[in-house]
A = this chain, B = another copy of it.
Amino acid sequence: MTTGSQTSSVDKPMPLDRSALKPGLWSTAIKIRFGHCDPAGIVYTPRFFDIFNVAIEEWYNARLGISYYDLIGPRRTGLGYVNAHADFFQPACMGDTLEIAVDLERVGTSSFALQLHAFNGEAEALRGRFTVVTTDLTTHRSKPIPDDLRVALLDYAKS
């Protein structure tokens, strides 16, 4: 263990101003509900990952044009996470509406990486990073990204 007053700078990204966001990113609005919040009166941290997952589902459905529910259901294709990360810049309260923009950072053979910027008004309140791996839901082993999803991802990356 180390002691000291500083977190390394690697661990401390700076929040973006909304005007500095890369243009062309798809975003969705999610309202913070009573049930998202904890006795400290702000969103309970684990719930933010649920909120991010809803934004990602909607991005597949509404922007990529590929139903998340068909992929997971009849197509038996898992869209699980190898890792999930969030940096919290400021708390969010019930009644706030977060505007969550999805950035695609990398597309590999059987995985891709997403960055999610959640704005509360003009300031970024939190940022998520997820590495998604496509899996076979019967074996829970990774498999190549399905062709239609790959095409849609690469198309989104150009936008």
Query: What is the CA–CA distance of A70 and B88 in the complex, to the nearest angstrom?
Result: 24
- 0/1 string, A64-77, CB within 8 A of B gives 1: 00011100110000
Does residue A91 face the partner (Cβ distance < 8 Å to B)? yes
The answer to whether A40 touches B88, judged by C-beta atoms less than 8 angstroms apart, is: no
Number of copies of this chain in the oligomer? 4
Main secondary structure of the interface of A (DSSP, over half): mixed
Contacts of A91 in B (CB 8 A): 80, 140
Query: What is the CA–CA distance of A47 and B107 in the complex, to the nearest angstrom?
Result: 26
- 0/1 string, A3-23, CB within 8 A of B gives 1: 111110001100000000000
Query: What is the CA–CA distance of A54 and B30 in the complex, to the nearest angstrom?
Result: 12
In residues 39-91 of chain A, which contact B (Cβ within 8 Å)?
Answer: 39-42, 44-47, 49-50, 52-54, 57, 67-69, 72-73, 78, 80-88, 90-91
The answer to whether B35 touches A50, judged by C-beta atoms less than 8 angstroms apart, is: yes
Closest B residue by C-beta to A111: B7
Query: What is the CA–CA distance of A107 and B83 in the complex, to the nearest angstrom?
Result: 25
Given A1-B107, A2-B106, A107-B3, answer yes or no on A45-B84 (Cβ-Cβ < 8 Å).
yes
Query: What is the CA–CA distance of A152 and B11 in the complex, to the nearest angstrom?
Result: 25
Closest B residue by C-beta to A130: B45
